[in-house]
Structure 1
C-alpha cells in the first residue's frame, strides 16, 4: 500500500492530533458499548493525554499520509496530539486486530481500509481477517477510486477501446497489486462482465504494478490514482476510466464502467474505528474534532492533489457501505467462480 506517487508536503515524523465527526450513537446493535464518568478512560474529561492512531500500513502510503495530514489540523480541536503508529502486515489485519483488542478507553483507534472487510475474506486463501463486529466505526473519512491505466503507446486510448475487445478473440494481460485488492477484483470482474479474454499478472503492490504497465510487461493495469498520477501527468501513461458509481469529483473527465453499462463499483474507503466498547463520550469527542480537522485548507489541498475524494459520513453509513460492498462483490465472485488464492 505504499504509494510513492503521493503528494504530501508534510513532516512524516510529526506527532499528530486526532478526532472524529458525525453522529454515531448506535453502531451494530448489541455491541455492548461501555459508558464511564472517569477522566482517563474515555469519560467526561476525555482526552487527558495523546491519542494513538494505528495506521495498518507502512509509512509513506496513502493511508499513512492522510492520517498525518489530518493530524496537523486535529490537534487544536482535540486538545491533545495524536501519535501515529504504523503496524504493517497481513493486508491491514495486524494493525486492525491490535485496535480491536485494545483497552476501550478511546486512547487507541485505527484507520483501516474497507477492503479488509469486503475483499480479503472472500479472495485471499487462509486470510487473517478482522470481523467488523469487533470494532466500532467512529467516522468515515476518504474514498479512493480504482482507475484503469495504459501505456501512452497502447492501442487503448479510451475505455471504449478496451470494451471493443469483446468477441475479438484477442487475449490481453492485466497487472494488479495482488489478489484481494481492489485493483485485482475490479479488473477481473470487468473483463469477465465484458466478455474479454484476459489473464491477470500479480505484482507486489500498486507501485510495481504501475511500473509493469510503464515497462510494457502487461497490456493494461489498474491502480489508485495517486499511484500512477505522476506518470500520467508526465504523459507516459494514460487513464482510461474508473470503477465508481458516478464520475469522481477529482477526475470528472474520466468515464465510469457503470455509465458504459457494467454494474461494477469498486473503491477503497477509509475510516476511523476503535474497540467495539469504546465509550460514547470518546466517540463524540473524536467525531467533533474530526469535523473541524477536515475543514483545514492544507487537508483539502492534499486530497485534491492526490485525487482522493471525501467520505465524511457517520459510522453507521460506513458500516452499511461495507456490508453492501461485501454482498455485491460476493454475487460476482460466485457468478464467475473466483476462488481464494
Structure 2
C-alpha cells in the first residue's frame, strides 16, 4: 500500500512540474507575441499622399495599398490626392512634413531621375526622404502598326541602318520616360530617330494606329487593347523581366540593350522617421506587396509588380539619373502636338 502511495505521489509531482513548465512556456510566448504586435505606433490614422489625381494608375496603387494595409495595422491608412505639377507639389510638401510616420506618399521614379534635370529650382532633393519600398513598374513598350513590314526589333533596326532611315516615334511628351527610353534604345542601336511628341499617351497611340509614325512608345496598359485587337505589334519592352500580360514580347535586355527604364512606383516618407515607425511601415508594406488581394489588383490593371527594398530604390535612382541627365541635355526642343 505504501509502495502504491509513493508511486502515485511521484506521478502527481511529475504532472505538477509538467503543468508549471507548460504554463511558463505559454506565458513567455504570449509575452513575446505582444512585444511584436502591440507596438505603440500607430496611435492614429496614417495619411498616404497620392501626388496625382483620382482614376490613374497611381491612385489605383495608393488605394490598393491603403485597403490591404488595413489587414495589418490597428489604425486606418487614408489616401489623400494632392495633385499638381506632375507630382512635384506634393513631393515638395512631403519634404517639409513632420517625420512622425503619420504622413507617407506614393512616388514615381520620374520625380528623382528626370524632374531634377527638367525643372529649375526644384523644391526637394533625394536626400530629403526615406524610401520604404518599391512596388510596381510601368515599363515602356515599343510598338509598330500591325501593317508594318517589321516582325522584330532586329528587322526595324536593320532596315533603318541599310536605308539610313530616321525612325519617327510618337510619345506622350518630350522629357517623359517613354520618350527618353526609345531615344536611348535607338542611340544604343546606332540608328537615327526623331521623337514626335503628343499631349498624352492616347494621341501618341492614335498616331501609330493611323500609320503616321514608324513606332510608338507607351505603357503596356495603354497598348494592350490595340495589340489584342490586332492593330499594333509589340517588338520589345524595357523591363528586365517579360511583362506578364505579354509573355511573348522580349525585353530590350534580351535583345542586347542594357535598358531598365519605366515608371517605377514606391512608397517614401520625410527623412527622420522614428525607428519604431520605420520598422512597422516597412513590415506592413512588405506584407501588402505579397498579399494576394494586392497582387490581383495590380494584375487586373496591367501593373507589373517589381518589389524592391528602399535601398534598392535609391540604387536604381543613382544608376538611372546620369543616363537621363545626358538624354535630357541632348534632347531636341519639339513642341507637343
TM over 0.5, yes or no? yes
Q: Structure 2 length normalisation: TM-score?
A: 0.80
CA contact (8 A) 1:173 1:219 kept: yes
Aligned to 1:174: 169
Give the whole-Å Cα distance in 2 for the aligned partners of 1:57 and 1:316: 24
Structure 1 partner of 2:124: 130
Unaligned 5+ segments in structure 2 are 1-37
Equivalents in 2 of 1:339, 1:116: separation in Å? 21
1:85 aligns with 2:80: yes
Q: Distance in 2 between matches of 1:340 and 1:112?
A: 27
Q: Distance in 2 between matches of 1:246 and 1:297?
A: 20
Q: Which residue of 2 aligns with 1:324?
A: 319
- Classify 1:78/1:61 alpha carbon distance in 2 versus 1 (closer, same or farther; 3 Å): same
Give the Cα separation in 1 of the matches to 2:135 and 2:211.
35
Instruction: For CA contacts below 8 A with separation 6 or more, give which structure has more relative contact order.
Output: 1
The 1:104–1:207 alpha-carbon spacing in structure 2 relative to 1, beyond 3 Å, is: same
For 1:201, what is the secondary structure of its paired residue?
strand
Equivalent residues of 1:54, 1:96 under 8 A apart: no
Q: Which one is further off, 144-153 or 156-165? A: 156-165
Does the C-alpha gap of structure 1 residues 310 and 199 become closer, same or farther in structure 2, counting only changes over 3 Å?
same
| 1:95–1:217 CA distance, 2 compared to 1 (3 A) | farther
1:117/1:129 contact within 8 Å kept:
no
1:314 pairs with 2:278: no
| 1:114 paired to 2:102 | no
1:129 to 1:118, Cα distance in 2 relative to 1, 3 A: farther
| 1:253 aligned onto 2:248 | yes
Q: Contact 1:143 / 1:268 at 8 angstroms: preserved in 2?
A: yes
Listed as ranges, the gaps of 5+ residues in structure 1 are 1-42
2:133·2:286 contact (CA, 8 Å) conserved in 1?
no
After TM superposition, the structure 1 stretch with the greater mean CA deviation from structure 2, 60-69 or 236-245, is 236-245
> What's the secondary structure of 1:189's corresponding residue?
helix
Which stretch of structure 1 is more off in the superposition, 178-187 or 126-135? Answer: 126-135
Question: Cα–Cα, structure 1 residues 44 and 69, in superposed 2: closer, same or farther, change >3 Å?
Answer: closer
Q: Scaled by the length of structure 1, what TM-score is found?
A: 0.79
Q: How many residues align?
A: 296
CA root-mean-square deviation: 2.4
Q: Residues 295 and 305 of structure 2 are in contact (CA less than 8 Å); yes or no, is this contact kept in structure 1?
A: no
What is the CA deviation profile of residues 252-288 of structure 1, one whole-angstrom value per residue up to 9, with x for unaligned ones? 3211222222233312211111111122211111112
- Residue equivalent to 1:51: 46
Distance 1:224 1:158 in 2: 19
Structure 1 window deviating more from structure 2 (105-114 vs 206-215): it is 206-215
Cα shift at 1:339? 6.4
- Measured in 2, the distance between the counterparts of 1:81 and 1:206 equals 35
Mark the CA change 1:48 to 1:207 in structure 2 (over 3 Å): closer, same or farther: farther
Evaluate the alpha carbon distance shift between residue 236 and residue 296 of structure 1 in structure 2; reply closer, same or farther with a 3 A threshold: same
Whole-angstrom distance in 2 between the partners of 1:250 and 1:109: 31
Residue 62 of structure 1 is aligned with which of 33, 57, 78? 57
Residues 283 and 250 from structure 1, CA distance in 2 versus in 1: closer, same or farther, beyond 3 angstroms? farther
